[in-house]
Amino acid sequence: MTSNSYLINTTRFILLILVQVLVFNRLNFFGYINPMVYILFLYWYPLTQNRSLFIFISFLLGLMVDIFSDTMAIHAASTVTLAYLRPTIMRFCFGVNFELQNFKLTNTNRAQRITCLALMIVIHHFVFFNLEIFSYENVLLILKKVSSISLATLIMSLLLGSLFSVKKE
């Protein structure tokens, strides 16, 4: 990582937390839909060899969102799970190319990127709502929340992604 990349990731970390807690946590679309766009950080984070650091940063990110929204450590638990599973998801979506040194997200096609993002969102939300509701009498409620909020998060993430994406040469 270059020093420039440190700067970008720190800014992204702070801005995504602020956007999440000040804007998206207050949307309450249909009374309960609050997209969790902060997981874009995990999607955009460079593909480094140092996975331990990545897992730890993701834990901090989740914990910060938790402290702001009074949800104990539910965000932290689901974000850390997603951080651990990210290489597996990416390998599944992008194939063997992912292992190569010069692999970049911008070199892949749109369908692959959307699949990858959607998978990450669904896994994160599944862990999150299982911990939040925490009872198997409410399986239907969990499924309803996972599906509707995943969709909202995916749409919002794609919009944010296209807004802040690096222009292709």
Partner 1 sequence: MQQIINFIIRNKNFLLYVLLFTISFAFTVQSHLYHHSKFFNSANWLTGNIFQTQSNISSYFSLNEQNQKLQEENQRLRFLLFNKKEKDTVPLDSSYNKYTVIASQIIKNSFSLPKNYITIDKGRNDGIKPDMGVITANGILGIIENISPNFATVQSILNTNSRINAKIKNTNHFGSLVWDTKDYNTVQLTDIQRLVPINIGDTIVTGASSSIFPENIPIGIIKNFDLNNTQNSYHIDVALFNDMTNVKHIYVLENHHREEIQQLESTTKND
- Nearer to partner 1 (CB atom), residue 60 or residue 158: 60
Question: Nearest approach, Cβ of 87 to partner 1 (angstroms)?
Answer: 9
Question: Nearest approach, Cβ of 147 to partner 1 (angstroms)?
Answer: 16
What one-character-per-residue DSSP string does the chain give? --HHHHHHHHHHHHHHHHHHHHTGGG--BTTTB---GGGHHHHHS---S-HHHHHHHHHHHHHHHHHHHT-TTHHHHHHHHHHHHHHHHHHHHHGGGGGSTT--GGGS-HHHHHHHHHHHHHHHHHHHHHHHH--GGGHHHHHHHHHHHHHHHHHHHHHHHHHHPPPP-
Pick from 65, 66, 69: nearest CA to 28: 69
- Nearer to partner 1 (CB atom), residue 7 or residue 18: 18
- Nearer to partner 1 (CB atom), residue 4 or residue 52: 52
Are residues 150 and 125 in contact, defined by beta-carbon separation less than 8 angstroms?
Answer: yes
Question: Nearest approach, Cβ of 109 to partner 1 (angstroms)?
Answer: 29
Question: Nearest approach, Cβ of 70 to partner 1 (angstroms)?
Answer: 4
Contact partners, residue 31, CB within 8 Å, separation at least 6: none
Interaction site with partner 1 (CB under 8 A)? 18, 21-22, 25, 28, 31-34, 51-52, 55-56, 59, 62-63, 66-74, 76-77, 80-81, 83-84, 131-134
- Nearer to partner 1 (CB atom), residue 68 or residue 108: 68
Question: Nearest approach, Cβ of 107 to partner 1 (angstroms)?
Answer: 26
- Nearer to partner 1 (CB atom), residue 80 or residue 116: 80
